[in-house]
Structures are given as structure tokens and as C-alpha cells.
Amino acid sequence: MAPTQGPRAPLEFGGPLGAAALLLLLPATMFHLLLAARSGPARLLGPPASLPGLEVLWSPRALLLWLAWLGLQAALYLLPARKVAPVSALAPGGNSGNPIYDFFLGRELNPRICFFDFKYFCELRPGLIGWVLINLALLMKEAELRGSPSLAMWLVNGFQLLYVGDALWHEEAVLTTMDITHDGFGFMLAFGDMAWVPFTYSLQAQFLLHHPQPLGLPMASVICLINATGYYIFRGANSQKNTFRKNPSDPRVAGLETISTATGRKLLVSGWWGMVRHPNYLGDLIMALAWSLPCGVSHLLPYFYLLYFTALLVHREARDERQCLQKYGLAWQEYCRRVPYRIMPYIY
């Protein structure tokens, strides 16, 4: 099939050099975080306490377990209870002609065998549910070691379970994300979905298992309130846009102010999307803060997710902005004029 765009599609992620660096840096960072979380000093910015031998890194039992988990998820995915992703094509960005860059971004937009869509399957199921399972295993290990799970461990498990449950409940919404509509299924998403998400997103629970933190009820209540606020914004913004995109005359969104674009689609300029240009990112970041707070303030390590996620969303917002400017031209400029802040009102 012919590429949807020629080799002149703008390069992202710092081009081939940036992609090559990320190919090495992402797995190295993941290993560092996993080792640091179980070391005594648990330093984010320091060498891991001791590098394990090769015999620790290789376990046929772990590989078998992982394959069985993938097999189970694939079998569940084949059940006739899911939405269908867009038709197959080459990814707009992953066909630069540079093999390293294309390997990182992915050449095919939706690689499939019959109706088994690898990217859609990986985005939501094995890694995301695997993250919850790893968290749960850490909670049970804590109960085994200390008699019962700590309040901090309960909060981290509860918040992240809510996040994953929400993603699965609104499964079809993932079909309109940049990952599905724009990015290919290359190293970034394959590694991101299958390794990065389950092993680094569970860092707070891993940290708590090795470094128990006292947490009183008043502080726990404040943290719950922060998570609830983040979730309210995240869900409100995502649902408002999804409802509007599905049916603009739905009574829940019909009264909102809009800007018309040359493509025939409209842009919301009131409601959540009139507050900042990415209110869903704001909600997501507030939740990220609430996931780290139960780990106390003695270590930077459990705040890794918040730091990484801020960088990811700032970069993602810039990518989305470029794509929207290309799609909507003057109408997008008008939207930016009417809603000047990107993620955080009056700050950014």
C-alpha cells in the first residue's frame, strides 16, 4: 500500500538521532527505576545500588507467565465485545525512509492479522491491566510482610484501579487518540504499552513495598480530594469532547459555544475546552500528583511519574497543536486567540 504521506512528513522526537537515543534511554530508565525502587536510598538521580547478574534477569518462568498473560488477553480480545479501529494504512510520520526513526515511530498505522488489531489490543489490555495486577501483587506482598497493606498502598492501588477501569469502560474513546489515528505501531508504542506502562507506572506501589510511609487519615482525605478533582476534570473534559464529536446536537453539549472550521467540523470554545486548550491533560496531571503524594516527600523517586508525565504531555500538546493548525488553519488560530492557555490557566 502506498504511504499516506511522502518522506517529507515533518520529523518528530528529535529525528533519527532523538529516536536512536530514546531506543536506548527508555529501557535503561525503566531498569534504573525498578532497581532504585528496591534499593535502600531509592535515589532517582543516582546509580542503582547494585546491578543484578544475568541469571536474575533471565527467568523462563517469568517469560512463560508473560506469554500466558498475553495469550489470555488475546483470547479475551477476540470475544465479540469491542469496538473496531480505523482501516489499515501507513503511519503519516513513520515513513521517513530512515530505518531507525521509522522503527521507533512505526511504519504501519494499524498492523493487523484478519481482525486482530495489534496496536488497539496493546494500547489498552495486556499492559494497562498488567499494571493493575502488578499493583495488586505488591499490595498482597505488603500484607504478607507487614500483616496488612498500608493506607498509602491502598490509596495508590485504588486511584490507579479507577484510572485503568475508566480507560476500559470508555474503551472506544481511545480510537480517537493520537496514538491510534496518527502514530504507527513501532518501538515507542509497543515498548510503551507492554513494558513502560506496567513496570514504571507501578513505581509508587513498588516504592511503598520497600519504603513504607506513614499516612494519617486527614492527609489521606486531602489526597483523595486531589485525586477526585483531577478525575472530575479529566473525565468531564474527555466526555464533553467525545459527546460533541459523536453528536453535536446532544443536549449535554448543544448549548456550548463553537467555532466553525473549513473542514465542516467545529471546535468547542466554552465549557471545559474554553478554559484551556487541553483540560483533559490538566486533570490527568492533578491525578498524577495524587498518586505520588501517598509516598511522602522524603524521596524524589515516586514523583518520577509526575515529572515524566509533565514532559510527555507538554511534548504531546505541542504535537497535537501542530496537527490541529495543519487541519483547521485560521479557525485553530482563532481558537488559540480565544483560549490562550494550553494546559494550566494563567500559567501555561
Ligand X SMILES: NC(=O)C1=CN([C@@H]2O[C@H](COP(=O)(O)OP(=O)(O)OC[C@H]3O[C@@H](n4cnc5c(N)ncnc54)[C@H](OP(=O)(O)O)[C@@H]3O)[C@@H](O)[C@H]2O)C=CC1
Instruction: Decide: is 245 part of the binding site for ligand X (CB under 6 A).
Output: yes
Q: 159 to 178, contacts with ligand LWLCTGZJ by CB under 6 A? A: 166-167, 174, 177
Question: How many other β-carbons are positioned within 10 Å of the β-carbon of residue 57?
Answer: 10
Residue number, 227 or 280, with CB nearest to ligand X: 280
167 binds, among ligand X, ligand LWLCTGZJ, none (CB under 5 to 8 A by kind): ligand LWLCTGZJ
Instruction: Decide: is 324 part of the binding site for ligand X (CB under 6 A).
Output: yes
Cα→Cα distances 123→78, 88, 152, 171, Å: 15, 16, 28, 10
> Number of helices (H) and strands (E), helices first, in the chain?
15, 4
- Taking the C-alpha atoms of residue 218 and residue 208, their distance in angstroms, rounded to an integer, is 19
Instruction: Decide: is 197 part of the binding site for ligand LWLCTGZJ (CB under 6 A).
Output: yes
Residue number, 171 or 334, with CB nearest to ligand LWLCTGZJ: 171
List 188, 205, 290, 343, residue binding ligand LWLCTGZJ (CB under 6 A)? 188
Q: What is the per-residue burial (b if ≥16 Cβ within 10 Å, else e) of 118-153?
A: bbbbbbbbbbbbbbbebbeebbeebeeeeeebbbbb
Contact 94, 4 (CB under 8 A): no
Element (H, E) at 112: strand 112-113
List 102, 142, 193, 320, residue binding ligand LWLCTGZJ (CB under 6 A)? 193
Residue 308 CB, shortest distance to ligand X, in Å, is 9
Partners of 220 in the β-ladder = none
Element (H, E) at 247: none
Cα→Cα distances 124→2, 117, 165, 171, 200, Å: 28, 12, 10, 8, 16
Instruction: Decide: is 342 part of the binding site for ligand X (CB under 6 A).
Output: no
Q: Residues 97-136: x/- map of binding to ligand LWLCTGZJ (CB under 6 A)?
A: --------------------------xx---x--------
Backbone angles phi, psi at 92, to 5 degrees: -60, -35
Contact 280, 234 (CB under 8 A): yes
Q: Which residue has the cell 491525578?
A: 287
List 125, 278, 299, 342, residue binding ligand X (CB under 6 A)? 278
List 268, 286, 290, 343, residue binding ligand X (CB under 6 A)? 268
Residue number, 215 or 285, with CB nearest to ligand X: 285
Interface with ligand X: number of residues (CB under 6 A) = 18
Residue number, 277 or 299, with CB nearest to ligand X: 277
Residue number, 269 or 300, with CB nearest to ligand X: 269
74 binds, among ligand LWLCTGZJ, ligand X, none (CB under 5 to 8 A by kind): none
Q: Residues 140-179: x/- map of binding to ligand X (CB under 6 A)?
A: -------------------------------------xx-
Residue 131 CB, shortest distance to ligand LWLCTGZJ, in Å, is 9
Instruction: Decide: is 282 part of the binding site for ligand LWLCTGZJ (CB under 6 A).
Output: no
Residue number, 120 or 303, with CB nearest to ligand LWLCTGZJ: 120
Q: Residues 24-53: x/- map of binding to ligand LWLCTGZJ (CB under 6 A)?
A: --x---------------------------
Interface with ligand LWLCTGZJ: number of residues (CB under 6 A) = 14
The candidate with the shortest Cα–Cα distance to 87, out of 115, 60, 59, 62, is 115
The candidate with the shortest Cα–Cα distance to 203, out of 33, 4, 16, 23, is 33
Element (H, E) at 116: strand 116-117
Regarding beta strands 266-268 and 112-113, do their DSSP bridges make them parallel or antiparallel, or are they unpaired?
unpaired
Chain contacts with ligand LWLCTGZJ (rule: CB under 6 A): 26, 123-124, 128, 166-167, 174, 177, 179, 188, 192-193, 196-197
